[in-house]
Structure 1
Amino acid sequence: MTASDTTTPDLSWLNDVTMAQLERNPYEAYERLRAEAPLAYVPVLGSYVAATAEICREIATSPDFEAVITPAGGRTFGHPAIIGVNGDIHADLRSMVEPALQPVEVDRWIEELVRPIARGYLAKFEDDGRAELVAQYCEPVSVRSLGDLLGLQSIDSDKLREWFAKLSRSFTNAAMTKDGEFANPQGFVEGDEAKAEIQAAVDPLIDKWIAEPADTAISHWLHDGMPPGKTRDREYIYPTIYVYLLGAMQEPGHGMASTLVGLFSEPDQLEQVVDDPALIPRAISEGMRWTSPIWSATARISTKPVTLAGVDLPAGTPVILSYGSANHDIGVYEAPTRYNMHRPPLPHLAFGAGNHACAGIYFANHVMRIALEELFEAIPNLERDTASGVEFWGWGFRGPTTLHVTWEV
């Protein structure tokens, strides 16, 4: 490391950072990184990490870096996953997934898709006076909405939730040994089991869609942009299916759950949102900044020698972009640990940046909007059950593990 001044910070404390600490609460270590070394090598991750908004955005948009998947992510998803490829393959995969996610297209069907799903889950508990919203509402609405868009109506929502949880734990099984090996190889077993189940369930659907194209996302992925009579190979699209069954299913569910936790921490703001649903998009944007669902799951690799933030990076150096840390950067946000939907509408990095920014931004925001509209309409007197705490978990992907609420019926 070459310091930009005469003092080189002592970063030996990074040798003691564990994966368990990062999963439980990454903010403490990353706050120190932002202050002492916004770009630094973290031994347990076997990688450099970018911790500030400036460095994350610079790397994400720099022509001197290209996408790469983290080792644990590559082990989980395989190749070519859309989040870790470049050039013609990335262009083809983006052209495959983006048409259905364009705003003009999403506007055509989003209300009809999501609102009945949200109402159906609310009907199961709105007369009970209590619920655990992560498991009973936020995650189910998220996975069912995306599952139906993909064409997976035949797959139970609980199974979809199980798949994304297993894939998430596999993807974030990131601890490395000093020799560059996975510290916990067994941590990938449940992800492999989930992928085997996914293929067993989806292969028959792909067989059907190859012969009889349908208006489902996966069917379009097979056929769109291909010569007549040709389809993309299933082995080519499966890694991106896994990306969707993890990140795209997780993000809206945990984004709305985090938004709710944030609103409960500011009762006046909760009351304002309940009284004026037009404020819900602003509340969601702050929730996504406050606790980014995709916290530190993407990476870039240098394509040539680069010096950044006083650090010399040889060509071929991977850097993990910790967007959840960037969104708590005190150089950008005042009192970032506080949820405040009235803060100036500065852009955040919860959906990434550059040509690998999330393709589903518009879709995810509207899933969350509709779900919260329906929740507050059905249960305007919602309160957090203070007898139960709220625990967040995750370093790669982050959100509340549970959210107990009560209301008077």
Structure 2
Amino acid sequence: MTTAQSLTPAWIEDITIEQLENDPHQVYERLRAEAPIAYVPQLGLHIVSTRELCMEIAKDSENWPAVISPAGGRTFGEGAILNTNGPEHQNLRGMVEPHLQPAAVDGYIDDLVRPFARERLAAIEDNGTADIVAEYFEPVSVRSLGDLLGLNDVSTDKLREWFHKLSVSFTNADMTADGEFANPDGFIPGDEAKAEIIAHLDPKIDHWIENPDHTAISHWLHDGMPDGQTRDRSVIYPNLYVFLLGAMQEPGHAMGTTLAGLFSRPEQLERVIDDPTLIPRAVGEGMRWVAPIWSAAVKVATDEVTVGGVTLPAGSLVMLSYGSANNDEHAYDAPTRYDLDRTVIPNMTFGGGVHACAGTYFASAVVRIALEELFETIPNIELDPDHEVSFWGWGFRGPKELHVTWEV
């Protein structure tokens, strides 16, 4: 039998998590060419790297139900939406989606995002320089979601701290040969964040149970439940952790990635600043160019299956690498080049199938508004030549810092 493990090239055994976090592109380019489905011992699962195979598996929820990576399961716990299928998954989608439907988002998004975006820009516009990720993009991203959820009493800095700590935990993916976590202490930051979240949220949940309001978590507790009943905290917390990580991280990284891409094409940046209607297209290309959720979705084979010419036994875990799929040479010309004028081809930034990201419209709207306000307030923004653009991450990817300057 030809299996992914028997076909795995020897060089894959030398891949390190550090290497993937610093720059996954070289590794995944080679995987797409030599082993589109490859068993990676360091992760304890198979990597799927081409767009065609990622789309094929993502759309087949019957034969490829969702599971969660070992590090993801350790971070979020049982009951996270990423790890559910069938009626349970439909129930959780019904819990989280009402606030994220386009009609609902259009009704609140401007009031949710613009005032805080303008406040942050007013605080920095006279400085002439900034790390725009730390001083604007991440704050706008976390504040927007935090206020939607009902965490308006949690500081912006604390929200950023929580999502960074959860990210450290979720991406602590290195496994030993016997299937144990290579760095158990890597989960400590995430555990600290979760303890703080529970301590802060438990009294609020007590209040929302008796006094429901318009906030998302309050609706999670009550919507779809029989009269007099609310969802258990064991349902709320794992999914809150998913939102506090993915839904807070993704818009901020997408903002940074889009601006970094436009900096690589100055003439395109000028066009977007002059014509804000181009911002959605610029954002779409930015999120294709460097997917904020680069490699996180995991599926399991229900039966022995042959995919991409490789036979996998029942129970095989595969990780769909959306960032790699979005840079597949067979789908995109010069995929590692940012290009506003690229022919639009559907990408996998927000996943696919029944587990496609529920917050696609919300996240895109937050990014759009943040960039509209930035370019309106600081139209002469430039990349600081004294700092390189430093991307980081393999599960989640975006600029760690993005130093910019402008004339005051």
TM-score, length basis structure 1:
0.98
Give the structure 1 partner of residue 19 of structure 2.
21
Q: Which residue of 2 aligns with 1:243?
A: 242
Question: Where do residues 211-226 of structure 1 align in structure 2 (5 Å cutoff)?
Answer: 211-226=210-225
Q: Percent identity?
A: 64
The separation in 2 between residues aligned to 1:81 and 1:315, in whole angstroms, is 23
Write the letter of the residue equivalent to 1:66.
P
What does the per-residue CA deviation read over 1:28-70, in whole Å, with 9 as the maximum and x for residues that have no partner? 1100000011111011111001000001011111131000000
Match of 2:2 in 1: 2
Q: How far apart, CA to CA, are the structure 2 residues paired with 1:3 and 1:50?
A: 13
Separation in 1, partners of 2:8, 2:227: 61
| Residues 177-204 of structure 1 deviation map (CA, whole Å, 9 limit, x = unaligned) | 1101111011001100000001111111
Tell me the distance in 2 between the aligned counterparts of 1:235 and 1:197.
16
Q: 2:50 aligns with which of 32, 49, 52?
A: 52
SS at match of 1:44: coil
Secondary structure, in 3 states, of the residue corresponding to 1:22?
helix
AA of the residue aligned to 1:346:
I
- C-alpha contact 1:258 1:291 (8 A) present in aligned 2: yes
The answer on whether the counterparts of 1:100 and 1:217 sit within 8 Å (CA) in structure 2 is yes
**1:207 paired residue number:** 206
Equivalents in 2 of 1:91, 1:364: separation in Å?
A: 21
Deviation at 1:3, TM superposition (A): 7.8
Contact 1:226–1:232, Cα closer than 8 Å, also in 2: yes
CA distance in 1: counterparts of 2:8 and 2:354, whole angstroms: 35
Aligned pairs for 1:75-224 within 5 A: 75-224=74-223
Structure 1 residues 207-258: Cα deviation after superposition (integer angstroms, max 9, x where no partner): 1100100100000000000011100001111100000000000000000100
Question: Paired residue for 1:367?
Answer: 366
Deviation of 1:364 (Å) = 0.3
What does residue 344 of structure 1 align with?
343
Letter in 1 for 2:70: P
Preserved contact between residue 134 and residue 400 of structure 1 (Cα < 8 Å):
yes
Give the residue type in structure 2 aligned to 1:60: A
Unaligned runs of 5+ in 1: none
Q: Specify the SS of the correspondent of 2:42.
A: helix
1:283 alignment partner AA? A
1:310 Cα deviation from its structure 2 partner:
1.6
Alpha-carbon distance, 1:89 to partner: 1.4
Contact 1:49 1:320 in 2 (8 A): yes
- Distance in 1, Cα, partners of 2:8 & 2:363: 41
1:8-41 CA-partner distances (Å, limit 9, x unpaired): 9660000100111011111111000000111110
Give the structure-2-normalised TM-score. Answer: 0.98
Q: 2:39: which partner in 1?
A: 41
> Any conservation in 2 of the 1:101–1:359 contact (CA below 8 Å)?
yes
Which 4+ residue blocks in structure 1 deviate beyond 4 angstroms?
A: none
1:346-404 deviations in Å (ceiling 9; x for gaps): 11101000000000000000000000000000000000001011111110000000000
Q: What is the match of residue 29 of structure 2?
A: 31
Letter in 1 for 2:309: G
> In structure 1, the residue corresponding to 2:342 is in which secondary structure?
coil
User: 1:327, 1:349 within 8 Å by CA — same for their partners in 2?
Assistant: yes
CA deviations on 1:125-182 (whole Å, 9 max, x unpaired) are: 0111111101000000000000000000000011000110010010010000110111
Question: Residue 85 of structure 1: CA displacement?
Answer: 0.9
Alignment check: 8 A CA contact 1:9 1:36 kept: no
Per the alignment, in what secondary structure is the counterpart of residue 153 of structure 2? coil
In the aligned structure 2, how far is the partner of 1:89 from the partner of 1:223?
16
AA aligned to 1:174 is A
Matched letter for residue 272 of structure 1:
R
AA aligned to 2:75 is: T
Gaps of 5+ in 2: none
User: In angstroms, what is the RMSD of aligned CA positions?
Assistant: 1.1
- Residue-pair matches, total: 406
Preserved contact between residue 298 and residue 318 of structure 2 (Cα < 8 Å): yes
Aligned mates of 2:213, 2:302 — CA distance in 1 = 40
The one-letter amino acid of 2:86's match is G
